[in-house]
Amino acid sequence: MRRYWYRRILIMILVFTISVGGSWYLIEESRASLEKEVNADTSDELLIPGGMPVGIYLETEGALVLGTEKIEGEDGQEYEPAADLVQEGDYIIGLDDEKISNKFQLVEAVAALDKEEVVLKVRRDEQEIAIRMKAVRCGRDEYKLGIWVRDNAQGLGTVTFLNADSQFGALGHGIRDTDTGQLLDASDGLLYTTSIKDIKKGKDGTPGGMEGVIIYNNYNILGSINENTEDGIYGTLDRVDTLFTDTRPLEPAGDESEIQEGEAVIRCAVSGTVEDYKIRITKVDRNAQEANKKIMLEVTDEKLLELTGGIVQGMSGSPIIQNGKLIGAVTHVFVNSPEEGYGIFIQDMLKHIES
pLDDT of residue 141: 82
**Which residues are CB-neighbours of 57 under 8 A, at least 6 positions away?**
5, 6, 152, 153, 154, 189, 190, 192, 216
Active site residue 337: no
Half-sphere exposure of 18 (CA within 13 A, CB side): 20
Average pLDDT over residues 121-148: 92
Eight-state DSSP code of residue 145: -
**Which residues are CB-neighbours of 102 under 8 A, at least 6 positions away?**
59, 60, 62, 63, 151, 152
Q: What are phi and psi of 265, to 5 degrees?
A: -135, 155
Q: What is the pTM of this model?
A: 0.81
What is the rounded average pLDDT for all residues in the chain? 85
Active site residue 187: no
Q: Which of 23, 101, 316, 318 is catalytic?
A: 316
Give tens-digit pLDDT for 36-84.
333 334 456 789 999 999 999 998 889 999 999 999 999 999 999 999 9
- What are 232's strand-pairing partners? 229
Give tens-digit pLDDT for 241-289.
999 987 778 777 889 999 999 999 999 999 889 999 999 999 999 999 9
Give tens-digit pLDDT for 315-336.
999 999 999 999 999 999 998 8
pLDDT score of 13 more than 60: no
> For the chain, first and last CA: distance in Å?
20
Q: Which of 173, 177, 179, 332 is catalytic?
A: 173
Active site residue 301: yes
Q: Which of 188, 301, 318, 348 is catalytic?
A: 301
